[in-house]
Copies of this chain bind each other. A is one copy, B any other.
Amino acid sequence: MTNLPPRVFIKEEGPREGFQIERAPIPTADKIRLVDALSDTGVGHIQVTSFVHPQKVPGMADAEAVVAGMTPRAGVRYSGLWLNQRGLERAIATGRLDLEGKLTLYASNVFLQRNQNRTPDQQREAQPALIAMYQAHGIPVRTGFVTAAFGCNFEGDVDPARVMGLVGDMLSIAADHGESLSLMGLGDTMAWATPERIRRVVGAVRERWPDLELSLHLHDTRGLGIANAMAGLEMGVRHYDAAVGGLGGCPFAAHGGAAGNIATEDFVFLCEELGIKTGMDLEKLAECARLAESIVGHPLPGKIKTGGSLRALRAKIAAA
């Protein structure tokens, strides 16, 4: 009935997506401390920072310092985020990141307009220039991403057929320019997904492109994040973005009740209990979540950091 994958791959986005929304400045040393602690959890991929304009996002002005200060560990992929050529060049200049090009289309025209000030045609037409930029730097383009794939606060529900169209567009654009996408991300950017919508969209894309690896980027704004991840697992999806502690989320109204990505440790706990391998050490990860909480100085939404894992309890019971 379900199709749980034997192994999943997690991209840890806490240091990037999480610290970005914090109001109080986070000391560079603390960011490095968290990245280094995460490196020791067995995670395969950490998105370390964001190379955005320091005046627009002052909290990310220390991007280079964070990358220079971290202690890379063999087997972990360290990446960054950028929004334009200048950002990419800064990321390249660090000489320490594993960079990959990504195409992005939006399943909401209004959101695209607000976010990028572009029409859908303009966004599509901008992708070849992106590919050329990556090719000029010898950076592979392997990933596509659909923003607002499950719904949008400005446009409402999104038809799965529209997502299919965007996936097809990105695959064609890449192929037309000598690239081949192997991973397609579906972003629940504004938290409209439900387990049923996950099944519908993933099912439709899967049926049309059975060999395309899928990734889910889930926000927990409306409390369904882990239930949606469960639906993804049942559909056999193997790639997930997550943020340690649920970084980026905050229960305080003063933070606008922000809710970040699903908490990495809660998702790893779910996988562990389902017998799905993550390669990660849940106790070390919970320790990272507590570290993240002490760094931001307010409660983070992840549960396992206080609730504790069952593996630990079973070991205690077995030893008694």
Q: Is the CB of A224 within 8 A of B270?
A: yes
Q: In the complex, which residues of chain B have a beta carbon less than 8 angstroms from the beta carbon of A251?
A: 251, 299-301, 306
A227 within 8 A of B: yes
Q: In the complex, which residues of chain B have a beta carbon less than 8 angstroms from the beta carbon of A156?
A: 313-314, 317-318
Binds B, one of A13-21, A123-131, A188-196: A188-196
A274 within 8 A of B: yes
A287 within 8 A of B: no
Contact of A221 among B221, B230, B270, B303 (CB under 8 A): B303
Question: How many Å lie between the Cα of A310 and that of B304 in the bound state?
Answer: 28
A263 within 8 A of B: yes
Q: In the complex, which residues of chain B have a beta carbon less than 8 angstroms from the beta carbon of A259?
A: 303, 306-307
Q: Is the CB of B194 within 8 A of A307?
A: no
Question: How many Å lie between the Cα of A303 and that of B307 in the bound state?
Answer: 18
| Per-position 1/0 for A194-233, Cβ under 8 A of B | 1110000000000000000000000011111011011000
A151 within 8 A of B: yes
Q: Is the CB of B306 within 8 A of A253?
A: yes
| Per-position 1/0 for A294-306, Cβ under 8 A of B | 0000011111111
A256 within 8 A of B: yes
Chain A residue total in the interface (Cβ 8 A)? 49
Q: In the complex, which residues of chain B have a beta carbon less than 8 angstroms from the beta carbon of A273?
A: 194, 196
Q: In the complex, which residues of chain B have a beta carbon less than 8 angstroms from the beta carbon of A274?
A: 194, 196
CB of A148, distance to nearest CB on chain B (Å)? 13
CB of A250, distance to nearest CB on chain B (Å)? 8
Q: Is the CB of B299 within 8 A of A220?
A: no
Q: In the complex, which residues of chain B have a beta carbon less than 8 angstroms from the beta carbon of A196?
A: 273-274
**A310-B151 in contact given A195-B230, A196-B274, A301-B251 (Cβ < 8 Å):** yes
Question: How many Å lie between the Cα of A305 and that of B252 in the bound state?
Answer: 11
CB of A228, distance to nearest CB on chain B (Å)? 9
A113 within 8 A of B: no
Q: Is the CB of B222 within 8 A of A303?
A: yes
A257 within 8 A of B: yes
20 more contacts with CB within 8 A, not counting A223-B269, A256-B306, are A1-B1, A156-B318, A157-B314, A194-B270, A194-B273, A195-B230, A196-B273, A220-B303, A221-B307, A222-B309, A223-B270, A223-B302, A223-B307, A251-B300, A251-B301, A252-B299, A253-B306, A257-B303, A257-B306, A259-B307
A266 within 8 A of B: yes
Contact of A222 among B153, B155, B252, B269 (CB under 8 A): B269
Question: How many Å lie between the Cα of A153 and that of B300 in the bound state?
Answer: 24
